[in-house]
Amino acid sequence: MIRNTKMLYFPMYNDKYGKLVPVEANGNVPFDVKRVYYIYEVMDGMRRGFHSHRDLQQALICIHGSVKILVKTPFEEDVVCLNNPQEALWIGPMVWREMYDFENDGVLLVLASEHYTEDDYIRDYQSYEQEAKVFFNVKEKRTYK
């Protein structure tokens, strides 16, 4: 995994009624969840995201179908295929992300550590690269791992 990303794994309770996966803020998700949103009915060939956040932490869970996530810094990149409701991709600050290949009616549930604020977004890749080079070179407190 690239810096400031990691996989999270959740327990699943399976009984004759079906399956249940509990996700707890500051428990199996390592931050206080202040916001939740979900992305679904993404059309074939659509790619979205194309941004980074300066401070936000997120946990991405594909609760139905599958979706690919490109995570990228100026120094490394990775593609994670999410297709299991028992796992999440945690993304910390200053990681560029793109989501694509939503398949089998993919539904992406996102847990976020902060309320929505446009100020936290970096949407221009050139600007992102400049800020991220400084961020990852200087051993920042917000760099995990």
Instruction: Name the residues annotated as catalytic.
Output: 51
The secondary structure of residue 114, as a DSSP letter, is S
Contact indicator for 119, 49 with CB cutoff of 8 Å: no
What secondary structure does DSSP assign to 36-73, as a single string? EEEE--PPTT-EEEEEEESS--EEEEEEEEEEEEEEE-
Q: Give residues 60-119 in contact with ligand TYD (rule: CB under 6 A).
A: 116
Question: Closest CB to ligand TYD among 55 and 140?
Answer: 55
Least spacing, CB of residue 49 vs ligand TYD, in Å: 5
Phi-psi region of 129 (alpha: psi -120 to 50; beta: other; left: phi over 0): alpha
Question: Closest CB to ligand TYD among 19 and 34?
Answer: 34
Select the span of 6-14, 24-32, 45-53, 132-140 touching ligand TYD (CB under 6 A): 45-53
Least spacing, CB of residue 118 vs ligand TYD, in Å: 8
Residue type, 36: V
Find residue 134's DSSP bridge partners.
none
Residue 35 contacts ligand TYD per CB under 6 A: yes
Q: What are φ and ψ of residue 127, in 5° steps?
A: -65, -40
Residue 47 contacts ligand TYD per CB under 6 A: no
CA distance 49 to 101: 13
Select the span of 35-43, 54-62, 67-75, 82-90 touching ligand TYD (CB under 6 A): 35-43
Question: Closest CB to ligand TYD among 75 and 116?
Answer: 116
Q: Which of 7, 48, 104, 117 binds ligand TYD (CB under 6 A)?
A: 48
